[in-house]
Amino acid sequence: MDPDADDLVQSAASGGSGAMQPSALVGALSARRAQAGAPAAILAIRLDRFASAGETLGTDRSARLRGIVQARIACLLPPGADMHWIAAADLVVITALPAGVPDPGQLASRVADDLSRPFALEGFELHLSCSIGVANDHADIPAERSLQQAFDAMLRVNRQGGAGLARADKPLSPPAAPLLAALPDALERGELSLQLQPRADLAGAAVSGYTVRLRWQHPVLGRVAPQDFLPGVEALGLVGRIGNWLLESVLPLVRAAETIAPLQFTLLASSAQLHRPQMLEALAQALDARGIAPEHLCIELPASTVPTDAELIDRFAALRRRGLQLALGDFDDSPACREALAALHPDAVTLDARGLGHAREAHSRADSLREACRAARRAGASVCAKGIETRQQLEAVRSWGCHSVQGYLLAQPFPAVWLLQTHAAIQQRARALLAPPD
């Protein structure tokens, strides 16, 4: 899971008596999906001031307070709703929407209002606020993902002071001014980190590489999405500084991975990085200094931002002649992508298959991705389908001839420092998931 959701899972595992294990929570949601009816709404609720209240109340009264909280919420839910405490102050609700309530945000607001009323318990009067994350469950994505979306939304609220709710389907960007003010010192404060998302080859049912993803966790803003802070990195002129840090952080991983398997690490390059020739020079110098085989690194460029500067293309071509790999990201059947394919002759392309097979995804999208796969194969490029979340999606991209897959069905991104301890488990998952049927 992402760091925020993982924090919650860890607290659930140590939540004391009555805390539900995460696997059981996934089972509860899966059981709900097996029933007929509309998709469930998920509310992840944290009682903001419960911990401090519990220090005064003691264990027994705290347990009774949880019972009162649950009873208040139950009055707002239709019959058959599931409620599970996953930690001392964290409650997950899995429910259909009450009659006359068309939107889960309305239900969450009712819960928040009800829990804001004072609680009376054996002479104590208590005032609790709550942080609520709201997610709509979808049967075409893994149950873990739906739960994680609610957890992450709740934690966004809690880490900004609590007493509010957030929608997983309507994430709010952090305020621009505080974000830009905090960015320049984020690196020195240790707030930036790297995560790895594995890629597995279909032919050998084996993990063949990892995509490196940059993450920012701010103590007040919470986890800031890359799409929110990367434009700020470019606007503030931090591309070179953060790019060099990223490179210096990745190269030791590449060396460490040599003891595991011949893995390739893919770096995602922004348009600003592409237009900084010194970044390519730094990459070449780092490869020479560390003695790393260039084929263990791949640079993935957005297919829509292929560089046109002749000098820059020549510098990149020189690195490729030394063995550095090139991939085109978010490749599809559009004319722009086909032009990029013809101009750069990449070693690989990635297709975004996240919506494949979803009821809300246009059927023509699958046809476009299939044609893109065929075009890339004809050009001699390896094809990776990313965003694979269901077995149906896996079988579809396998039938197209994709060479590898990446996505939550295989594994979620994890902190880069866990690589040596985590790789074997993901490799085992790849074998079980991708091995051809007997």
Question: Following DSSP, what letter does each residue of 195-237 receive, concatenated?
Answer: EEEEEEETTTTEEEEEEEEEEEEETTTEEEPHHHHHHHHHHTT
- Mean pLDDT of the residues in the chain: 84
More confident residue, 199 or 99: 199
The tens digit of pLDDT for each residue in 413-434 reads 889 999 999 999 999 999 999 9
Q: What is the pLDDT of residue 251?
A: 86
Q: Give the residue-averaged pLDDT of 129-155.
A: 89
Q: What is the pLDDT averaged over residues 6-22? A: 40
pLDDT of 258 > 90? The answer is no
CA distance 346 to 328: 7
Q: 352: burial class by Cβ within 10 Å (0-12, 13-18, 19+)?
A: middle
Cα–Cα distance for residue pair 243/360, rounded to 1 Å:
37
Distances (CA, A) of 107 to 100, 112, 164, 436: 10, 9, 13, 45
- CA dihedral (40, 44, 50, 52) in degrees, to 10, reads 180
361-397, pLDDT tens digit by residue? 666 788 999 999 999 999 999 999 999 988 889 999 9
Nearest to 306 by CA among 345, 271, 347, 332: 271
Q: Rounded to 5 degrees, what angle do the CA atoms 398, 401, 405 make?
A: 50
Mean pLDDT, to the nearest integer, of 311-338?
Answer: 84
DSSP state of 165: E
Say if residue 331 is exposed, middle or buried (CB neighbours under 10 Å; 0-12, 13-18, 19+): buried
CATH number (3.30.1050.10, 3.20.20.450, 2.60.40.1580, 3.40.190.290) of 176-434 reads 3.20.20.450
Percent of the chain with pLDDT over 70: 88
pLDDT given at position 270: 66
Q: Is 342 exposed, middle or buried (0-12, 13-18, 19+ CB in 10 A)?
A: exposed
Matching fold, domains 3-167 and 176-434: no
Is the confidence at residue 228, as pLDDT, over 90? Answer: no
Residue 246: closest CA among 187, 185, 295: 187
Give residue 403's region: left, alpha or beta (phi > 0; psi -120 to 50): alpha
- What is the enclosing helix (H) or strand (E) of 377? helix 363-378
Write the DSSP symbol of residue 126: E
What's the topology of domain 3-167?
Alpha-Beta Plaits (3.30.70)
Residue 306 has pLDDT above 60, yes or no: yes
379: which residues sit within 8 A by CB, 6+ positions away?
341, 342, 345
Q: How confident is the model at residue 360 (pLDDT cuts 50, 70, 90)?
A: low
Closest CA to 372 of 390, 394, 348, 354: 348
- Percentage of the residues of the chain whose pLDDT score is greater than 90: 42
Query: Which pLDDT score is estimated for 21?
Result: 61
Residue 273 pLDDT grade (very low, low, confident, very high; cuts 50, 70, 90): low
The per-residue pLDDT for 36 is 77
pLDDT(264) > 60: yes
User: What is the pLDDT at residue 385?
Assistant: 97
Reply yes or no on whether the pLDDT at 31 is more than 50: yes
pLDDT above 50: residue 17: no
* Residue 334 pLDDT level (bands cut at 50, 70, 90): very high
User: Could you state, in order of their start, the residue ranges of all structural domains in the chain?
Assistant: 3-167, 176-434
107 touches 76 (CB < 8 A)? yes
How far, in Å, CA of 387 to CA of 370, rounded? 15
Cα-atom radius of gyration of the chain, to the nearest Å?
24
Indicate the pLDDT class of residue 262, thresholds 50, 70 and 90: confident
* Segment 395-402 mean pLDDT: 95
Q: Could you tell me which residues come within 8 angstroms of residue 57 by beta carbon, excluding any fewer than 6 positions away?
A: 65, 121, 124, 126
For residue 22, the model assigns a pLDDT of 67
Q: How confident is the model at residue 12 (pLDDT cuts 50, 70, 90)?
A: very low
Task: Answer whether 0.85 is exceeded by the pTM.
Answer: no
- For 285-288, which contacts have Cβ atoms below 8 Å and span 24 or more sequence positions? 286/247, 286/248, 286/251, 287/322, 287/324
**Mean pLDDT (whole number) for 342-346:** 87
Q: What pLDDT does residue 13 have?
A: 29
Distance CA(234)–CA(298), nearest Å, equals: 22
Question: What are the structure tokens assigned to 137, written together?
Answer: 């469950």
CA distance 294 to 313: 18
DSSP 62: H
Q: How confident is the model at residue 265 (pLDDT cuts 50, 70, 90)?
A: very high
